[in-house]
Chain A
Amino acid sequence: MKNVRRPVEVEAVVEENFKIKTFLFKDKLCFKARPGQFLMVWIVGVDEIPLSISRIGDLCSVTVAKVGEATEAMHRLKVGDRFYIRGPYGNGFREGGGYVAIVAGGIGLAALLPLVERLNASNCKIDVFIGFRSKSDAFWVDKLTGFINGKLTISTDDGSLGVKGLISEVFRGYVKNFKPRYDMIYTCGPPAMIRQVFQDCKKMNYKVQASLEAYMRCGIGICGSCCLGPYRVCSDGPVFSNNQLTKMSELGIYKRGPDGLKIPI
């Protein structure tokens, strides 16, 4: 049963950059996961956190940015070490054909890579817009180049790689100027970025699927910790479409802490 915590062994560790590592492992349930689904990953004695599945196959993976206690503990794991997972949870992305754009911010790419792989296999035309803080934060650029047949646009806050500026602004400029006829926009990244991307997509009448994040406890839709608008990120999401996103007035404005208090973003 997917809700039972099961140990998996680290088969390989890939250092993506100075603060991001990918941990590869074998797991039968993850093998059957859909792109966009996530796991609750338990690092014994530290914490249990939601992480997107960043690779689906004989070897599966989670890709982790070092941002806090749990992810730091995760980064100490070596080949042969074990950690616990439960899941896969959530709905995942709906895969459509045609012409699509991927808009990703930083580690948000982790949720999107398995999707890009599938879309590529089904001969979609894919444009990718990806933003990083700076050149040293960039990862998977080569990987993406191999997977896509459309345009790859990179931006950094300081201009050290690609265009200087926020990727949401770069994306907005591009769609305003060229009015590409995207069939779907897939996005994952910081909530403020997603808010902006969604607002611009609405203006262009694009369909959107956004993978969102929130503080999570149960992962099975009962505790309410991960609520966004009337939705539970863990079990109604983490991927939401236009109608749902419209009902999340707080998206990118505030998030909720473990005590349910609003924290401005």
Chain B
Amino acid sequence: MINRKYNGFLDVEILNLKFPNPLILAAGILGLTAPLLKRVVYSGAGGVVTKSIGLKSREGYPNPTIVDLGYGLVNSMGLPNPGLKMFIEELEELKGLKVPLILSIYAFSEEELMTMGKIISKLKAVSAVELNVSCPHVGGISEIGKSPELVKSYVKTLKDNLSNKPIIVKLTPNVSDITSIAMAAVNGGADALTAINTVKSMVIDIETGKPLLAGVFGGLSGPAIKPIALRCVYEITETLDVPVFGCGGVETARDVIEFIMAGAVAVQIGSAIARRGLRVFREISIELKRFLELKGFKSLEEVRGLAHRR
């Protein structure tokens, strides 16, 4: 269905886009300005996803917006972003980026999505669009990703209004059957999927007996959710022949291999930057090459989906 040719050792081609390695900056992490996104690319990322951008600007929630639990982060940023029109300024600066630039977007209604799709169609810097229907801490967004009907309808609306750019749908794990949501996204016209967004969660401050995050609910990311993310990738790729970006708790090359073996075409990295810094991209690339050499694999394609063998 989709061209998935792997060039060279770590190169991956997904949706006709060439990623020099399968390590992509996840949405919501650092992706608010052009200079920072460029720096992530110079740091060795194979692709970047921007912060989720809406039609209008949003301030997000007041602090505290993040809790580090050691085994993962709970964040409740509340989708802060300058709005699509102002973000175009940043995107203009990103023309000619050496890796694919994926624009993450969200919309509170299909009308908003229609408007956004038309604007984005004209943006040369954007290689693909990742539709965020899964942010667990903003009401009106997380609900979309939990309903197969809404997912299908939103994706179709975007598809009808977006020309020449593939659509990736980022799925929430906060559902009982992620495969049915994945199927709805594909039926709506999704070209690829990202699994998973953060796991809806909360933290209580025992000194005050109140929720710690100003936004009350947050999204859990990092090592704690890796097994959940792996299970989701595995379940989806067991049923559907669609490229899946694995996302959730990737911190080492071992984690990347697990995701690829579960069926992912590439991975997205976010929270690991808090612990390992921006070096994480280059370091994992080196670790990955070493692993492939050690095991005698000639490409990541040989590893992909191995866990599905019967």
Contact bitstring B204-218, A, C-beta under 8 A = 1, else 0: 010110101000000
Contact bitstring A4-32, B, C-beta under 8 A = 1, else 0: 11010000000000000000000000000
B35 contacts which of A217, A221, A222, A227 (Cβ < 8 Å)?
Answer: A227
Residue of B nearest to A220 (CB): B274
Q: How large is the interface on B (under 10, 10 to 19, 20 to 34, 35 or more residues)?
A: 35 or more
Q: Which of A232-260 contact B (CB under 8 A)?
A: 232, 235, 247, 256-260
Residue of A nearest to B39 (CB): A230
Question: Cβ of A260 and Cβ of B80 under 8 Å apart?
Answer: yes
Chain B residue numbers with a CB within 8 Å of A48 are 63-65
Chain B residue numbers with a CB within 8 Å of A40 are 63
Report the minimum CB–CB distance from B158 to chain A (whole Å).
23
Chain B residue numbers with a CB within 8 Å of A5 are 64, 67, 205, 212
Say if the beta carbon of B88 comes within 8 Å of chain A. Answer: no
Chain B residue numbers with a CB within 8 Å of A256 are 32-33
Say if the beta carbon of A192 comes within 8 Å of chain B. Answer: no
Question: Cβ of A42 and Cβ of B80 under 8 Å apart?
Answer: no
Say if the beta carbon of B51 comes within 8 Å of chain A. Answer: yes
Report the minimum CB–CB distance from A86 to chain B (whole Å).
8
Say if the beta carbon of A265 comes within 8 Å of chain B. Answer: no
Contact bitstring B67-88, A, C-beta under 8 A = 1, else 0: 1101001010100111100110
Say if the beta carbon of B58 comes within 8 Å of chain A. Answer: yes
Chain B residue numbers with a CB within 8 Å of A222 are 29-30, 73, 270-271, 273-274
Chain A residue numbers with a CB within 8 Å of B224 are none
A217 contacts which of B65, B82, B210 (Cβ < 8 Å)?
Answer: B65
What secondary structure prevails in chain A residues at the interface with B?
Answer: loop
Tell me, in angstroms, the Cα distance from A122 to B86 when the chains sit together.
49
Question: Cβ of A261 and Cβ of B82 under 8 Å apart?
Answer: yes
Q: How large is the interface on A (under 10, 10 to 19, 20 to 34, 35 or more residues)?
A: 35 or more
Report the minimum CB–CB distance from B31 to chain A (whole Å).
6
Question: Cβ of B82 and Cβ of A224 under 8 Å apart?
Answer: no
Q: A259 with B75: in contact, given A1-B70, A42-B63, A218-B274 (CB under 8 Å)?
A: no
Tell me, in angstroms, the Cα distance from A225 to B207 when the chains sit together.
28
Question: Cβ of B277 and Cβ of A221 under 8 Å apart?
Answer: yes
Tell me, in angstroms, the Cα distance from A214 to B67 when the chains sit together.
20
Say if the beta carbon of B175 comes within 8 Å of chain A. Answer: no
Say if the beta carbon of B231 comes within 8 Å of chain A. Answer: no
Say if the beta carbon of A183 comes within 8 Å of chain B. Answer: no
Tell me, in angstroms, the Cα distance from A44 to B214 when the chains sit together.
10
A258 contacts which of B60, B67, B70, B86 (Cβ < 8 Å)?
Answer: B60
Say if the beta carbon of B183 comes within 8 Å of chain A. Answer: no
Question: Cβ of A218 and Cβ of B270 under 8 Å apart?
Answer: no
Question: Cβ of A225 and Cβ of B32 under 8 Å apart?
Answer: yes
Tell me, in angstroms, the Cα distance from A42 to B83 when the chains sit together.
28
Question: Cβ of B57 and Cβ of A261 under 8 Å apart?
Answer: yes
Say if the beta carbon of A3 comes within 8 Å of chain B. Answer: yes
Say if the beta carbon of A72 comes within 8 Å of chain B. Answer: no
Question: Cβ of B64 and Cβ of A1 under 8 Å apart?
Answer: no
Sample of 29 A–B contacts (CB below 8 Å): A3-B68, A5-B212, A44-B208, A45-B208, A47-B62, A48-B65, A217-B77, A217-B80, A220-B66, A220-B274, A222-B30, A222-B270, A223-B30, A223-B65, A223-B75, A224-B30, A224-B36, A227-B32, A227-B35, A231-B39, A247-B35, A256-B33, A258-B59, A258-B80, A259-B57, A259-B81, A260-B33, A260-B81, A261-B86
- A residues near B (Cβ < 8 Å) are 1, 3-5, 7, 40, 42, 44-45, 47-49, 82, 217-225, 227, 229-232, 235, 247, 256-261
Q: Beyond the given A44-B207, A227-B35, A259-B58, could you list 14 further A-B residue pairs with CB under 8 A, ordered by the A residue number?
A: A1-B68, A1-B70, A5-B64, A5-B205, A44-B208, A47-B63, A219-B66, A223-B65, A224-B33, A230-B36, A230-B39, A231-B39, A247-B35, A261-B82
